[in-house]
Amino acid sequence: MKSKVYTLTGDKGTTSLVTGTRVSKDDVRVEAYGTVDELNAHIGRMACEAQLADLDGVPQLVRKVQNKLFNIGAYLATENTADDSPVYGLAEADVTEVEQMIDQMDAQLPPFRGFILPGGSTLSALCDICRTVARRAERRVVTLSHQAPVSPLVLSYLNRLSDFFFVLARFNNVSHHFEEIYWDKNA
């Protein structure tokens, strides 16, 4: 028998963590893993853009990132007892892999001259949304870390993802000849 999508258990403003503990839907833990889930949804939309396939390894890395974010979400939805609780499916090598892709793209870009307005191509605009949601996810996880143990690896990974999406936005604009519009504080 197929289970129903709706359970009715959240109708009073609570939800269950992985352990079965009921918490308010605005609990900092729910905000943290909910924002990671939101980031994943934005990445899914961004990945639909055809230009994503223009750089070797980017589509594969993006799919891997989406899976890692599900692992992080499950970790955050579980009450951990120590900062060094392992994050299933996430390792320091994953942070390094994102850094290597950032370096590969950045090596092909002109020097950064200042703040760049979000936009250019559709893909770059979507990357900018992913960047800002990754930053918000990072902030939500930091807030959670003030109340409960959180692996520093989660924060490192989220931080690197925001950098990745910034560089991917630039890379796409430059490689497709979209002008990078720098912030004009006198506009």
How many Cβ atoms from other residues are within 10 Å of residue 160's Cβ?
A: 21
Q: What is the pLDDT of residues 43-88, one digit of tens each?
A: 999 998 866 656 778 999 999 999 999 999 999 999 876 667 788 8
Which of 3.40.50.40, 3.30.9.10, 1.20.1200.10, 3.30.70.270 would CATH assign to domain 19-175? 1.20.1200.10
CA distances from 185 to 32, 112, 116, 181 (A): 33, 17, 11, 12
* Mean pLDDT confidence for 94-121: 92
Q: Residue 23: which pLDDT band, with cuts at 50, 70 and 90?
A: low
Inter-residue contact 70 to 36 (CB < 8 Å) = no
12 band by pLDDT with thresholds 50, 70 and 90: low
Place of tokens 């793209």: 105
Per-residue confidence (pLDDT) for residue 54, from 0 to 100: 66
pLDDT-derived band at 32, boundaries 50, 70, 90: very high
Q: How far apart are CA 69 and CA 75, in angstroms?
A: 10
Pick from 177, 169, 179, 183: which is nearest to 52 by CA?
169
Distances (CA, A) of 95 to 52, 64, 109, 137: 20, 12, 21, 16
Pairing of strands 22-24, 14-16: antiparallel
Domain boundaries, the chain: 19-175
Residue 148, pLDDT > 80, answer yes
pLDDT of residue 79: 85
